[in-house]
Amino acid sequence: MVVRACVIGGYGINADCELRDAFAMAGSEAARVHVQDLLDRPSEIDRYHILAFPGGFSFGDHLGSGRVLAALFKRHLKEALDRFVSSGRLVIGVCNGFQVLVKMGILPNLRGGWTPEVSLIHNDTGLFEDSWVRLSFNRASPCLWTRGLAEAELPIRHGEGRFIVGSEEIMRRMEESGLVALRYEGRNPNGSLGAVAGITDPSGRILGLMPHPEAFLRPEQHPRWARERFEEGQGLALFRNGVEAVRRNL
C-alpha cells in the first residue's frame, strides 16, 4: 500500500522540508500542507496515514513555545485528530512539533480529553542550544516509532526543551506504562526531568521528541562523519518504523 504522510508547514515552522524528505526516504509519499489549509478543511487529514509536526518557531513561540499553534489545532482539529489516531494512524512531533503536541494535551493524554499534563519550558541554562546528544530508547515502550531502536546520536536545536510534569503521579504513570520513549544519555542538555527527550501516548502511535531525527538521514550529516563510519543516518530507522507500522496495521 502507499503510505501517505502529511507534513505541516507555515506560520514559522521551518524544518518541514527535511521532515518531508525523511518520510520520502522511509518509503512513504510525503506532502507539505499549509496549516491554514488544514484549519480550513479538517477532513483533509483523512487522506493521510501519518501527520507530522516539524520543528521551527510557530508564531515565533511568542506566547510560549508551540502554544498558539496548539490552540488553533485544539480548536479546529480536535475531533478530526481523535478520529485519526483512534483509527490506527500515526502522529509525530519534532522539537517545536513536540511542544505543540504537549501543549495541545494530546501527549501524553493519560486521562484522555487532551488536558495538558506535562510541559516543555525554557532550558535550565536559559539559552538556545544547537548540539548533538546521545540518546537511549526505552525497549519497554509501546511506542511504534521507536520499536527495536537502542541508541542514537541526534542534534537538539531548541531553547525550550526542559521536560516537566504537572505532578509526580503523572511521571509515575508515564514510567509504569513505558511512555518515556527516549532519554538523554550522559549530558542532560536542558535540565529535563528524568532526562526525558521524547514521550509517547498510551496507544504508542503518537511520538513527540526534542532531538531531530530528520537531521540525521545521511552519514555526512553527523558531526564526526569524517572520523567514524556510519552505514546510514541514525534518524532514518524511526521514520521507517512509522511507515512500517502503518503498513502492518492499516
Indicate which residues carry an active-site annotation.
Answer: 95, 212, 214
Is residue 55 close enough to count as binding other proteins by CB under 8 A? yes
Is residue 113 close enough to count as binding other proteins by CB under 8 A? no
Where in 200-239 is the site for other proteins (CB under 8 A)?
A: 212, 214-215, 217-218, 220-221, 223-227
Phi and psi at residue 210, in whole multiples of 5°?
Answer: -75, -45
Give alpha helix (H) positions in 6-145.
16-25, 35-40, 67-86, 96-104
CB-wise, 60 or 112, nearer to other proteins?
60
Is residue 87 close enough to count as binding other proteins by CB under 8 A? no
Q: How many Cβ atoms sit within 10 Å of the Cβ of residue 25?
A: 19
CB of 92 to other proteins, least distance (A): 16
Is residue 185 close enough to count as binding other proteins by CB under 8 A? no
Nearest to 201 by CA among 136, 114, 96: 114
* Among the residue ranges 65-73, 143-151, 195-203, 241-249, the one whose residues contact other proteins (CB under 8 A): 65-73
CA-CA distance, 207 to 76, in Å (whole number)? 21
Phi and psi at residue 8, in whole multiples of 5°?
Answer: -80, 155
The three-state secondary structure class of 170 is helix
Is residue 31 close enough to count as binding other proteins by CB under 8 A? no
Find residue 133's DSSP bridge partners: 154
CB 131 within 8 A of CB 190: no
CB of 21 to other proteins, least distance (A): 5
List of residues contacting other proteins (CB under 8 A): 9-15, 17-18, 21, 34, 36-37, 40, 55-57, 59-64, 67-68, 71-72, 75, 103, 116-119, 121-132, 155, 157, 159, 162, 164-166, 190-191, 212, 214-215, 217-218, 220-221, 223-227
